[in-house]
Amino acid sequence: MSLPRVAAAVSGGVDSAVAVRLLQEAGYAVEAWHLMLCRDAPDPAVGPLCETLGVPLRILDLRGAFERLVKGPFFEAYAHGETPNPCALCNPRIKFGLLAEAVGPDVLLATGHYAAVGTDPVSGRVALRRAADAAKDQSYFLYALPPAVLPRLRFPLAGLTRADTVALAQRLGLPIAQEKLASGSQDICFLPGGDYRPGLAERHPETQRAGDILDPSGRVIGRHTGLGNYTRGQRRGLGVACGGRVFVTGFDRARNTLTLGPKRDLEVCAFRIREANWFVPPTFPLRCEAVSRYRHPPFACAVEADGTVRPDAPQTLVTPGQACVFYRGPWVLGGGVIDSCPGA
């Protein structure tokens, strides 16, 4: 009897490496797939790592697709006044889209994400579930996966903490650089240092037109460097002294003005989502919890059939372009892209 085959996405980091080892211990026939997305060559750590693990390595060059499906839309969204989430784009389009196609329909697919797949006890559907480690759970970034791919997925790290994973890698003697072992977070892969503004200025120079900064009454209190350099809710790097904490609360793109105000001016009682994806078919109005920003606490809400989300209490962390993901307990029901909200 042949072992079940699984293609594991490997980056050269600790999470995917430990995922491969756990799959081997579970009896899978594992092959490693390394995706070239931003770099002109594979990560040099991947080859030695796969040799140590004893798994065949395949390289998949997706640089063109990554530019077309992730990087380009990312900067385009900023140019249109949104704050996009590139990982939420990459996962369904690249890692669980093109990679899933490349390995073929009869091969299981695994990654080092901290998430889980199981049967939702209410609907009986295969659905996504939070990982055991609440601090590391990445289900938020996976809400847009095609529901049909879920039965093929394996997430070996679902029950581990990040500390568990690092300890296991060290115990196994895996050749992983110390900085990768120590890092519990990761910058956006195509933005060294995490700053989107140089790339935006290069691709969309029209976003760099300077203009007036206004207070809530409409009084001019300063100058901005281009609306593309600011996001809703931003409070650092504004270059204006207001005698108290102020935030970016509004944009007027026709007049090219930016408005600053107190945190209460960010509060919204309703907003809309688009591009909704559901693992568990909803009955509207849907009562659930929502997360509108990674690692922020969920809030109770009602979701309507037209995509309107009505929080039980006003929310300030609602930004067009970000993902809003809906949960029932640990189960991911679905999610969408925040499309509009007052002041945005």
d(CA 212, CA 255): 9
Question: Contact, 89 vs 69, CB < 8 A?
Answer: yes
**What is each CA distance from 170 to 24, 51, 84, 163, 167, in whole angstroms?**
17, 17, 36, 11, 5
Tokens of 194: 């995490």
Query: For tokens 């938020």, what's the residue?
Result: 140
Chain centroid to CA 209: 29
Q: Does 242 qualify as catalytic in the annotation?
A: no
Give the active site residue among 87, 90, 301, 341.
90
Q: Does 301 qualify as catalytic in the annotation?
A: no
For the chain, what is the radius of gyration of the CA atoms? 22
Indicate the burial class of 57 (C-beta count within 10 angstroms; 0-12, 13-18, 19 or more): middle
Give the active site residue among 38, 50, 87, 189.
189
Count of alpha carbons within 13 angstroms of residue 250, beta-carbon side: 18
Q: Give the catalytic positions in this structure.
A: 90, 189
